[in-house]
Amino acid sequence: MLRAHTLQETDLETMKELINTIVQKTGISQEDAQKTVQVVLGFLKTKMPAPVAAQLDSFLSGSGRPQETGDFLKSKVEGGVLAGKS
């Protein structure tokens, strides 16, 4: 029997996908990529308006509706600013 993924499961999958993308693109370890994501998101939270920072908090905790945030960050890693193609 198939079951629907919960938002939290989907959000955690997005975080894992982002970390795996960083590992593949940079060659750093999984642990270092995870730390990098946490540092970058922490930094961004200090520079963004409160509502956006709250979405980043949700993304880090795996709760709320951070799917859009995860998709945005993933797009930047895969083909945007973080990939050197700003």
Q: Report yes or no on 67 lying in a domain.
A: yes
Q: Report yes or no on 74 lying in a domain.
A: yes
Which pLDDT score is estimated for 25? Answer: 96
Q: Report yes or no on 86 lying in a domain.
A: no
Which pLDDT score is estimated for 66? Answer: 45
Return the DSSP state at 4.
Answer: P
Contacts of 48 (CB under 8 A, 6+ apart): 56
Tell me how many domains the chain contains: 1
Domain span including residue 70:
33-79
Q: Report yes or no on 6 lying in a domain.
A: no
pLDDT top residue among 3 and 48: 48
Q: What is the pTM of this model?
A: 0.56
pLDDT digits (tens, 9 = 90+) for 26-80: 999 999 999 998 898 889 888 988 888 887 777 666 555 545 556 666 665 666 5
Which pLDDT score is estimated for 12? Answer: 78
Which pLDDT score is estimated for 30? Answer: 95
Which pLDDT score is estimated for 70? Answer: 60
- Please report how the helices 7-26 and 50-61 are oriented relative to each other, as an axis angle in degrees rounded to 10: 90
pLDDT top residue among 21 and 59: 21
Q: Report yes or no on 2 lying in a domain.
A: no
Q: Report yes or no on 64 lying in a domain.
A: yes
Q: Report yes or no on 7 lying in a domain.
A: no
